[in-house]
């Protein structure tokens, strides 16, 4: 049975401020609507494991005045909203709304899409393509209509292809359509290196670029700690850091997602933090550099007429992607990025968008 979740649903005055508990100052200027600043609204489409980890992290980081949640399952959706609302006494004030109708997202500054099928153990991200493209055909045009000025942040997998799909279906400029990409893979890479070097992962500069998935590329040539190139010193001190060892570490980064999925059924906490950090950089105009999925045509020899989204380090701010770093890659690294881009581009062409 649906129970009321607010006093107004129980028939009480909708506006507590008019209850007589507070009165405007004598000249009447302190009404509840006076000097209202523009509020920041974030919408999360899909309130499964990933969507809720993102919503929860955004709440604790105080990134939005309003969060709108959308899912196809009404009971689960309402349950998730209420559960978060009940933490109100411990969190910054954030209005939470939810609906199965994406009209609830109207006027969003940032729309994060996590809806869709996820991998079962052993499945690759690319296996999800057809199911999730069908969902995106329903979701993206509607959210774009409700929030024509929003930034779109895509998380559902395969994230690079779905970012392309969202770009096409929304009609938004590429600077406002971003895939969470290898921001997460790069954190996994930094974690492994930080453990080995016994330093804080935040002090390890290291990027995974290319596809968020099996063909992601570890940019060893750019790994540094305290401004010192890590690869050179590792190779000088341990002869075991040969090509095979480096590929083994890259593979460990890729496999870490599969391991978590085989152990708990899905990944959620790390992607929650990853996406919240992207939301902060975007909405707070931080101009931080994140490896995210961006329109990469023309970079690293990817053909200008191959519109494909893959991860490269990008400068993010309130307008979205403010620029893509012209990162120095070795010839081998650039070749791998081009190969990934070609495979993803071929997949995108088959969609006929």
Ligand X SMILES: NC(=O)C1=CN([C@@H]2O[C@H](COP(=O)(O)OP(=O)(O)OC[C@H]3O[C@@H](n4cnc5c(N)ncnc54)[C@H](O)[C@@H]3O)[C@@H](O)[C@H]2O)C=CC1
Query: Which residues are catalytic, by number?
Result: 212
Q: Cβ of residue 309: shortest distance to ligand CC(=O)C(=O)O, in angstroms?
A: 15
Give the tokens for residue 48.
Answer: 């499964």
Residue 333, binding choice from ligand X, ligand CC(=O)C(=O)O, none, Cβ under 5 to 8 Å by partner class: none
- 89 alpha carbon, distance to own chain's centre: 27
Q: Which residues pair with 184 in a beta bridge?
A: none
Cis peptide before 158 (omega within 30 of 0): yes
Kindly tell me which of 94 and 114 has the beta carbon lying closer to ligand X.
114
Site for ligand X in 17-56 (CB under 6 A): 45-51
Q: Which of 185, 157, 156, 165 is nearest to 291 (CA)?
A: 185
Residue nearest ligand CC(=O)C(=O)O (C-beta atom): 267
Number of Cα atoms under 13 Å in the Cβ half of residue 333: 19
Give the tokens for residue 197.
Answer: 């070097």
The residue within the footprint of ligand CC(=O)C(=O)O, chosen from 184, 218, 223, 292 (CB under 6 A), is 184
Q: Is 47 annotated among the ligand-binding residues?
A: yes
Residue 106 phi, psi (nearest 5): -45, 135
156-177 b/e (C-beta count within 10 Å ≥ 16 → b): bbbbbbbbbbbbbbbebebbbb
The residue within the footprint of ligand CC(=O)C(=O)O, chosen from 45, 112, 115, 257 (CB under 6 A), is 257
Q: Cβ of residue 206: shortest distance to ligand X, in angstroms?
A: 17
Does residue 132 bind ligand CC(=O)C(=O)O (CB under 6 A)?
Answer: no
Give the Cα separation of 47 and 114 in Å (integer): 8
Residues belonging to the binding site for NAD(+) are 46-51, 71, 132, 155-157
Q: Which residues bind ligand CC(=O)C(=O)O (CB under 6 A)?
A: 125, 157, 184, 257, 267, 271
């Amino acid at each position: 049975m649906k129970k009321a979740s607010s006093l107004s649903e129980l028939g009480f005055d909708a506006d507590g401020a008019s209850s007589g508990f507070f009165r405007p100052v004598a000249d009447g200027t302190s009404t509840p609507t006076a000097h209202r600043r523009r509020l920041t609204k974030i919408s999360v489409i899909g309130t499964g494991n990933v969507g809720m980890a993102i919503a929860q992290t955004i709440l604790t980081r105080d990134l939005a005045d309003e969060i709108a949640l959308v899912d196809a399952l009404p009971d689960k959706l309402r349950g998730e909203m209420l559960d978060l609302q009940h933490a109100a006494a411990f969190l910054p004030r954030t209005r939470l709304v939810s609906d199965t109708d994406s009209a609830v997202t109207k006027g969003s500054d940032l729309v994060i899409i996590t809806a869709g099928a996820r991998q079962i153990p052993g499945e690759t991200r690319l296996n999800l393509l057809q199911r999730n493209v069908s969902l995106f055909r329903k979701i993206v045009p509607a959210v774009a209509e409700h929030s024509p000025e929003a930034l779109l942040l895509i998380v559902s997998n395969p994230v690079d292809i779905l970012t392309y799909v969202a770009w096409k279906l929304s009609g938004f400029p590429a600077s406002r359509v971003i895939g969470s990409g290898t921001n997460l893979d790069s954190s996994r890479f930094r974690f492994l290196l930080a453990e080995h070097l016994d330093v804080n992962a935040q002090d390890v500069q290291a990027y995974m670029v290319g596809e968020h998935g099996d063909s992601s590329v570890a940019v060893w040539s750019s790994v540094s700690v305290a401004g010192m190139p890590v690869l050179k010193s590792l190779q000088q001190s341990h002869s075991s850091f040969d090509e095979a060892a480096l590929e083994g570490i890259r593979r460990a980064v890729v496999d870490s997602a599969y391991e978590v999925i085989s152990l708990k059924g899905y990944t959620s906490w790390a992607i929650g933090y990853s996406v919240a950090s992207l939301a902060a950089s975007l909405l707070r105009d931080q101009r931080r550099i994140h490896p995210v999925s961006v329109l990469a045509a023309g970079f690293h020899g990817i053909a200008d007429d191959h519109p494909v989204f893959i991860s490269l380090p990008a400068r993010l701010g309130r307008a979205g992607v403010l620029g893509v770093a012209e990162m120095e890659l070795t010839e081998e690294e650039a070749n791998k990025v081009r190969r990934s881009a070609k495979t993803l581009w071929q997949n995108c062409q088959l969609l006929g968008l």
